[in-house]
Amino acid sequence: MQKSIGICLLLVVMGGIALSACGTATPVPSETAVLNTVEAQSPPVLSEGYIGGGLLYDDWMKAINVDAPAGDHPLWKTQTTNTRTGKDTWRCKECHGWDYKGVDGAYGSGSHQTGFKGLLNASSMSDEDLLASLDGTKNPDHDFSSFLDDSHLLRLVEFLKQGITDTAQFINSDKTVNGGDVEHGKELFNGLCQACHAEDGKTLNFGDESEPEYVGTIASDNPWEFWHKASFGQPYTQMPSALKSNWSFQDIADLLAYAQTLPTE
């Protein structure tokens, strides 16, 4: 299971400028420990519109703080290449990829391969058609209406219409960044991310002691995941959304280019 990008948990953001900072602790806390502490104090409210939809696409169970449905997603049995089970099979990103290209993208091979189609053409579909694909009208095995209410489904529709970006113009197939300004990315990181992730991006370990994963690890190993997390935030946390803070796609590309210079272990 892929690990999530780092989380800026106690940061208050206005207009993209950090107004307060998250402190670091010694020893460095695990992601789970930090999340449990903050969530107990102030449960996050799911963002409206396509920002909230992006969080639901990532992990709708975490985003609305509910248990995963029992067993595997009904459509999971139609593929045999991805051997994950349980909660992972219910995450939109696991079928359609962090790059939204499904079988035609990064998840077209490797352990995440499912053969399911991508979503880049969703913006040309009507709201009614997209909703029908989510509430079981088109396919009863792709019915999320028992788990997500109307407001959640509409957020996902808005995400599919407005939030999906073809990152190919910024992220090359070899995972390098096309046209990223590292120095500008460093300014952005130091202004918004460093307070919680530290200068080296290693405040939170998303892996474990034997296989640590940090901001730099995710940026280098899965830049599409980094792009999505930076764009929309981390589900059920106070991590700010770059898009909600009016960052441009070029800003996110610059941030990614800099993050790829950070330590990976």
Q: Model confidence over 88-126: pLDDT tens digits?
A: 999 999 999 999 999 999 999 999 999 999 999 999 999
Q: Going by C-beta distance under 8 Å and a sequence separation of 6 or more, which residues neighbour residue 178?
A: 169, 170, 171, 172, 253
Mean pLDDT across 62-70: 97
Confidence at 243, pLDDT banded by 50, 70, 90: very high
- SS3 for 218? helix
Instruction: For the chain, give percent helix, strand, coil, nearest 5.
Output: 45, 5, 50
pLDDT > 50? residue 56: yes
Q: Going by C-beta distance under 8 Å and a sequence separation of 6 or more, which residues neighbour residue 85?
A: 72
Q: Name the CATH architecture for the domain at 13-44+169-259.
A: Orthogonal Bundle (1.10)
Average confidence score pLDDT of the chain: 87
Cβ neighbours around 49 below 10 Å, total: 14
pLDDT > 80? residue 8: no
User: Is there a contact between 63 and 55 (Cβ–Cβ < 8 Å)?
Assistant: yes
Confidence at 42, pLDDT banded by 50, 70, 90: low
Higher-pLDDT residue of 121, 6: 121
Phi then psi for 250, rounded to 5 degrees?
A: -65, -40
Listed range (15-19, 39-43, 85-89, 241-245) with the worst mean pLDDT: 15-19
Q: What is the pLDDT of residue 46?
A: 95
User: Is there a contact between 125 and 146 (Cβ–Cβ < 8 Å)?
Assistant: no
- Percentage of the residues of the chain whose pLDDT score is greater than 90: 73
Mean pLDDT across 126-152: 98
Higher-pLDDT residue of 62, 203: 62
Q: What is the pLDDT of residue 261?
A: 96
Question: Which part of the chain has CATH 1.10.760?
Answer: 13-44+169-259
Phi then psi for 23, rounded to 5 degrees?
A: -80, 160
pLDDT > 60? residue 33: no
Select from 200, 227, 195 the least CA-distant residue to 215: 200
Bridge partners of residue 212, in order along the sequence = none
CA dist 63 and 221 (Å) reads: 24
CA dist 258 and 252 (Å) reads: 10
Select from 15, 16, 51, 2 the least CA-distant residue to 192: 16
Q: Both tokens of residue 143?
A: 């019915």
Alpha carbon of residue 43 to chain centroid? 19
